Every structure is written in structure tokens, then in C-alpha cells.
Amino acid sequence: MKFFIDTANLAQIKEAHDLGVLDGVTTNPSLMAKEGITGEANVINHYKAICDIVDGDVSAEVIATDYENIIKEGEALAALDSKIVVKVPMIKDGIKAIRYFSNKGIKTNCTLVFSSGQALLAAKAGATYVSPFIGRLDDISVDGLGLIEEIRLIYDNYDFPTQILAASVRHTAHLLGCAEIGADVMTGPLSVILALLKHPLTDSGLAQFLADHAKAAGK
């Protein structure tokens, strides 16, 4: 399972990268705004800075919602770095654009996916990744992990190469549920990745080992 970090914060991206477990980054316009990144030149420079840190794919989302401008914006983003994946919303013009990018060999991430029908369409259009937002579904009392299961089944039935990128991951139960189901990728905040480290028996066990060592050494 690949681990992507869902942020535009360079320090957090670097921390996850330095941990040695990071496979890529996803961003979105809200995450860019949260870091105060505005204006075309700053946005472009920020994507370049992210690409300089990570070794894997970096999703950069288009703002345009009509076919011609999605293509224009997506091609410009893809030209920045071979790591860039053009993130396109699940709308009619977005699906057309994903087909165009796919034919051109440009990687895509179909975002804002909330149903298996949408995921099937994204795969048919040739998306590299599909992003079902499991946390936002849970927020409205719909089973987010259930959607990952449905998509896994459909993609496996037909050997679709589109990778399931479980998004809007909020906690370790989401992450582990995705791992059990077989999502190809999960994207979440750094805190979710770091939370995997934690177990009270690890903490108490380590404290005991260190105390016993100090005692034996006569400290």
C-alpha cells in the first residue's frame, strides 16, 4: 500500500519523507489556500518545491471546470515535473479531459468521487488514480470504507489499472480498513501516519527495558 500525505505544508511533507515511508503527495485548492499560496507564480513554485522533496507522485488540482481550460491548465501543470499528476474533478468535462490526458500519457487523479458509478466512469476514462473521499462520506453517515470495497470489487472484476487512492482519511481505523480491503494508496494527514507508531505497550515496554538497563549498569 502506498502512503501519500494530504497537505501542501512543506515541513510536514519533509517530515513524512524523512521518515522513509512516503510515496507521494496530494494537494487541493483548500490545502494550498491554508498555506497562504495564492497567485499563479506562487502556486507553480510551490508545486516545484513539493516535487523537489518527494520521490513519488504529486497531485496538483486544476481550478478550471470546462474542458478547454482543464486541458490548458493540466498540460501546464504536467510540464512542471514528471512527478505531477493532474487532479481533475469528477464532472462531465473532467471525464473528457481525463480521457484526453490518458491518451497523451499524462497521469491523472480523478477527485471528489463519492460513488462506485463515478469510480467506474473514471476508470473507463483511463484515470491513473481515483480518489473516493471516505471521511466526507462518514461525515454524512455513509460507509466510506464500504465504498472502497465496492470499487475494489468492480476494478478487480475487469482488471482496471486505475489505482484506488483512498482520500479524506481521518484516522488509523480508516487507513487500516483501506489496507485490509486492498486500496492501492491512502492519502491522509501526517498525524494519521505518525499515529501508526503508537501503542501503550510499546511505550511501557521501552520504559521498562531502559530502566532495567540503567539498573543493571548501576546508574
- Is 7 one of the binding residues for ligand E4P (CB under 6 A)? no
Nearer to ligand E4P, 6 or 150 (CB): 6
As annotated, the active-site residues are: 87
Size of the site for ligand E4P (CB under 6 A): 11
- Is 135 one of the binding residues for ligand E4P (CB under 6 A)? yes
Query: Judged by CB under 6 A, which stretch of 37-45, 129-137, 148-156, 206-214 contacts ligand E4P?
Result: 129-137
Region label for 3, one of left (φ > 0), alpha (ψ between -120 and 50) or beta (otherwise): beta
- Is 133 one of the binding residues for ligand E4P (CB under 6 A)? yes
Burial (CB count within 10 angstroms: exposed 0-12, middle 13-18, buried 19+), residue 60:
buried
| Residues 23 to 82 in contact with ligand E4P, rule: CB under 6 A | 26, 28
Tell the smallest beta-carbon distance from residue 133 to ligand E4P (Å): 5
2-6 and 185-188: which strand pairing? parallel
User: Are the C-beta atoms of residues 2 and 184 closer than 8 Å to each other?
Assistant: yes
| Residues 138 to 177 in contact with ligand E4P, rule: CB under 6 A | 167-168
Region label for 149, one of left (φ > 0), alpha (ψ between -120 and 50) or beta (otherwise): alpha
The strand pairing partners of 111, in sequence order, are 89
Q: Which residues bind ligand E4P (CB under 6 A)?
A: 6, 26, 28, 111, 131, 133, 135-136, 167-168, 187
